[in-house]
């Protein structure tokens, strides 16, 4: 059974980012480096409670320095760390976590049907499709895509 790396307190990481502690990552043990998640830290750092100026600073610099080409440097966590520290102001701030948006919500069988046919649709686009098309239009669409009567009845029954 593999041993999980020790967790790093988020408060400790965010404090190091805010104070621009460039040596913090290098000082971590190998086990703690495995527990370091730049993506998660980026979610926290991009938000800040306080004045609009502070909020703008953190969202702007996180997007400009860290988020841009984030996946291109994913094999270099120390570089990601250095970019994260570049967003700090030198003063410890409170950073609430911003939950990532869901790509789409599957509410009912008709929405699931639309997501199956159009996998790139976002939730608001699925809702729009439901508003601008009648049930008869959607049934015709299902027939055009080769759904049989039993499947159509299962999807569109009231």
pLDDT band at 18 (very low <50, low <70, confident <90, very high): very high
Please give the helix or strand (H or E) that residue 91 lies within, else none.
none
This prediction has a pTM of 0.61
Average pLDDT score, the chain: 86
CB 41 within 8 A of CB 14: yes
Between CA 85 and CA 65 the distance in angstroms is 10
> In the chain, which ranges are continuous DSSP H helix?
10-18, 30-35, 38-45, 52-61, 77-85, 109-117, 123-132, 135-144, 149-156
Integer CA distances (angstroms), 49 to 14, 97, 107, 125, 133, in order = 13, 11, 33, 32, 43
Q: Which residue has the tokens 């971590």?
A: 28
pLDDT band at 101 (very low <50, low <70, confident <90, very high): low
CB 55 within 8 A of CB 94: no
CB 17 within 8 A of CB 85: yes
3-state secondary structure of 59: helix
pLDDT digits (tens, 9 = 90+) for 26-50: 999 998 888 888 988 988 998 888 8
pLDDT band at 12 (very low <50, low <70, confident <90, very high): very high
Say what the pLDDT of residue 4 is.
63
């Amino acid at each position: 059974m593999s041993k999980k790396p020790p967790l790093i307190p988020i408060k400790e990481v965010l404090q190091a980012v805010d104070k621009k502690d460039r040596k913090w990552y290098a000082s971590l043990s190998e086990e703690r480096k495995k527990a370091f998640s730049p993506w998660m830290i980026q979610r926290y750092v991009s938000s800040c409670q306080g004045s609009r100026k502070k909020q703008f600073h953190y969202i702007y610099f996180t997007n400009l320095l860290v988020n841009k080409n984030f996946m291109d440097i994913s094999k270099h966590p120390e570089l990601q760390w250095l970019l994260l520290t570049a967003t700090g102001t030198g003063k410890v701030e409170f950073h609430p976590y911003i939950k990532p948006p869901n790509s789409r919500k599957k509410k009912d069988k008709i929405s699931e049907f639309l997501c199956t046919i159009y996998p790139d649709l976002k939730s608001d686009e699925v809702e729009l499709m439901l508003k601008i098309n009648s049930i008869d239009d959607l049934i015709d669409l299902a027939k055009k895509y080769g759904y049989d009567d039993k499947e159509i009845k299962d999807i569109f029954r009231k």
